[in-house]
Amino acid sequence: MWGSGRERYLAPLQANDALGARERIEKMIHKLRGHVNVSEYAMTVTRPTWTRTLKMKVWDDRTDSRVFVRILEPAKEAGTSFLRISYNLWNYLPSVEKVMKIPPSMMLQPWMGSDFTNDDLVKESSYIDDYTHEITGHETVDGQPVLKIELTPKPNAPVVWGKVIYWVREKDDIPVRQHFIDEKRKLIKDLKFLDIKKMDGVLLPTRWEMIPVLKEGSKTVLELGAIDFDPSPPVPDSVFTEKNLRP
């Protein structure tokens, strides 16, 4: 599945590896998001018979688990907005001029027709709180030593995956791969973190490729165009409100 870029090397697991698994996931998420940032993305959705690209702006406040997303292009979707506060998600559709709260039954629905889901938008912080963490191996990816970290749901945790697996670079806790596995232990989605480079002084992956492994010819690519980890003036609380969903 990984191709020639992945190799295994037989370094023994260290006694403190399992103890450091949660900390590594925390550092990884911090590197990807930072505490507060404003960013711009292009998202390209590919299907066997068509491709389309959306551009969006994102206001992200991980200190309070808040995210606001506004679609900028194309014109047909411009103004569509999403607000996430903790595990709650709302969206605004200009075509019907209505704010709607997304119910739990729709969390696995595609987000804006992509291979990312509504659940992907709200559950990232739960990778710390709702799972147990264990380093289960040492591998190399594209010549870089990485740790394989398996996340297993805690009993009664409100999660949809039977297991999540990350491959994280040992030297800087940057992720290179993520697998989403269902309760039947079947691999459903494969997320690659690519084009690692400095953005606003921070080293991070700038291209994310989500591949639904059971849907041949489909994928979604999310490309980071710009990011500001210290926005000035600071992002006001009014951004993260239902009122702001309407342009």
* Cis omega (within 30 of 0) for bond into 74: yes
Instruction: Domain ranges for the chain, please list them.
Output: 7-245
Any bridge partners for residue 7, and if so which?
140
CA distance linking residue 216 with residue 54, whole number of Å: 22
| pTM score | 0.87
Q: Which fold has domain 7-245?
A: outer membrane lipoprotein receptor (LolB), chain A (2.50.20)
Any bridge partners for residue 168, and if so which?
147, 175
| SS3 (DSSP) at 95 | coil
pLDDT by residue for the chain (247 residues), tens digit each? 333 344 444 344 444 454 489 999 999 988 887 778 999 999 999 999 999 999 999 999 987 889 999 999 999 999 999 999 988 899 999 999 999 999 878 888 899 999 999 878 766 658 888 999 999 999 998 888 999 999 999 998 888 899 999 999 999 999 999 999 999 999 999 999 999 999 999 999 999 999 999 999 999 999 999 999 889 888 999 999 999 999 7
Any bridge partners for residue 222, and if so which?
43, 208
Name residue, tokens 């696995």.
108
* 204-211: Cβ within 8 A, 24+ apart: 204/31, 204/32, 204/174, 205/32, 205/174, 205/175, 205/176, 210/114, 210/115, 210/116, 211/115
Using an 8 Å Cβ cutoff, are 195 and 204 in contact?
Answer: no
